[in-house]
Amino acid sequence: MKDAEAARGAGRTPVEPGRPAATRAWATRLVVVGIVLAALNLRPAITSLGALLEEVRDGLGMSGTLAGLLTSVPPLCFALFGSQAPRLSRRFGAGAVVCAGMAAIATGLLIRPFVGGTAGFLAATAFALMGIAVSNVLMPVIVKRWFPDRVGSMTGLYSMALALGTSLAAALTVPLTDALGGSWRTGLALWAVVAVVAVVPWLPLVRERGAEPAATASAGTASAGTGSIGGSIGTGSAAAGSGRAAARPEEPAMRITHSRTAWALACFFGLQATAAYITMGWLPQIFRDAGVPAGEAGVLLAVTMAMGVPLAFVIPRVATRLPHQGPVVIVLGACGLAGYAGLYLAPAGGAWAWALLCGISNCAFPLALTMVGMRARSSAGVAKLSAFAQSTGYLISIPGPLLVGVLYQHSGGWGLPLALMAGLMVPQIAVGFLAGRDRTIEDEVAARATATA
């Protein structure tokens, strides 16, 4: 009986009068396709640039410091624009916002190589990253709403697709650029095609605001995580209306900054993002400076990113079965420290081993996303936690890639940058261990309110 109810809840679609079951099933399948295609497009804007960073620097006349600034643009945009995602979702619906995000990615990737000059390149990159930012925040929310009983497996599928898109962009950008005439501008613009394809499945969902799982007045449904965010969804049923009425009084009381777990998760997210964007932006250059050919350096970055394909599916499923995710955090951090040590001692000799270790360490990202879904009970809580953890986390991560560029330019080598990366891994392990404790932000905020009452 419980299994049957879980199966029905796992794919829950809107309870609307007159809406056929076949239509609801079709909408659910469309959401799955949309999630996968969206995830494929959330990193190629970054890793394709990392593979051709030296050519872009030469073509635009960038210094090492300015290139470091370029690698800091992603977390800056994610922090600035990601914080607006819940507000946009309440107004327009999550599907419409993600659809617009995919369109922004396609537009930015298409125009950035051809706008001319560093300023135009940065502006177009920021436009694409704006679309990535809002989609980053809303993906866990969409997973929680549509698949409340399969958060681990759906987060794994999403993370696996994200890792696949990341690795494909890293591996294929250089050979595709060579095959298309050798221009880095063509090589970068090519990834706009993939983003255009990702717009398609979200177009029907722009009109399906009412088709997102709506909250009911029952406490059981709310605790399952199917509630609406700020009443933004479900305008066609009394159940959705009662869900909105119930959600509004809760929102002012949800002061997420009163949750220690929220802060720990935000710091963990920020530090893992720092490591990830340094890796995506600078790892090929580390290998190239060690004498590895450009094509092989791109493949090594692809190997690093490709580790996330199987592990991003496995780790969330393992994490949801553990009462405490701290041990997973420790294992991933230890792999990162070993990879950085190898890059310092023998960057070319053990290049494949270090790429694998750094790839395992980068799987802290799907773990963080999974903990976002586990540390809140409702969709409203997940939306707040996702926006807070990602926006705050990306703010924390902004200085890292820039500082690596400055240290690299002024020291003339990779010793100091790698020491910085290793040093940041220690607090990442510590705050990740705290974020992995079995508790929810709703309980912590309520306890804080009771204690101060």
Residues 6+ apart with CB under 8 A from 216: 15, 222, 226, 239, 242, 243
- Using the predicted structure, report yes or no on whether residue 211 has a pLDDT greater than 60: no
Tell me how far apart the terminal alpha carbons of the chain are, to the nearest angstrom. 42
Task: Give the domain extent around 27.
Answer: 18-443
- Whether 448 is in a domain gets the answer no
Any domain includes 401: yes
Contact 16, 237 (CB under 8 A): yes
The pLDDT of residue 226 is: 27
User: With contact defined as beta carbons under 8 Å apart, do 407 and 424 qualify?
Assistant: no
Question: Is the predicted pLDDT of residue 243 greater than 80, yes or no?
Answer: no
Chain mean position to CA 69: 20
pLDDT tens, residue by residue, 376-387: 887 778 878 888
Mean pLDDT of 169-177: 84
Q: Which has the closest alpha carbon to 439: 312, 210, 264, 282?
A: 264
In a domain, 3, yes or no: no
- pLDDT category at 233 given cuts 50, 70, 90 is very low
If you average pLDDT over residues 305-322, what whole number do you get? 83
- Residue 6 covered by a domain: no
Q: Is residue 208 very low, low, confident or very high in pLDDT (cuts 50, 70, 90)?
A: low
Amino acid at 357: L
Q: Is the pLDDT of residue 362 over 80?
A: yes
- Cα separation, 376 vs 371, in Å, equals 9
Do the Cβ atoms of 74 and 214 come closer than 8 Å?
A: no
Determine contact, residues 310/160, Cβ cutoff 8 Å: yes
**Average pLDDT in the chain:** 78
- At 46, which CATH number? 1.20.1250.20
pLDDT reading at 55 higher than 90: no
Output the six-digit token pair for 171: 């591996």
Backbone phi and psi for residue 293, each to the nearest 5 degrees, phi listed first? -60, 155
- CB-CB contact of 361 with 428 (8 Å): no
Residue 449 within any structural domain of the chain: no
Residue 201 has pLDDT above 70, yes or no: yes
DSSP string, 31-46: HHHHHHHHHHTSSHHH
pLDDT digits (tens, 9 = 90+) for 127-146: 999 999 889 888 877 887 77
Residue 337 within any structural domain of the chain: yes
Of 7-16, 193-202, 252-261, 275-284, the range with the lowest mean pLDDT is 7-16
Span 89-114, average pLDDT: 89
| Tally of domains within the chain | 1
Question: Residue 338 has what pLDDT?
Answer: 96
Furthest C-alpha separation in the chain: 68
Residue 19 or 205, more confident: 205
pTM over 0.75: no
In the structure, what pLDDT confidence band is assigned to residue 253 with cuts at 50, 70 and 90? low
263 pLDDT tier (thresholds 50, 70, 90): very high
Given a cut of 80, whether residue 103 has pLDDT beyond it is: yes
The predicted structure's pLDDT at residue 53: 75
Asked if residue 382 belongs to a domain, the reply is yes
Pair 280, 47: CB distance under 8 Å: yes
**Is 10 part of any domain?**
no
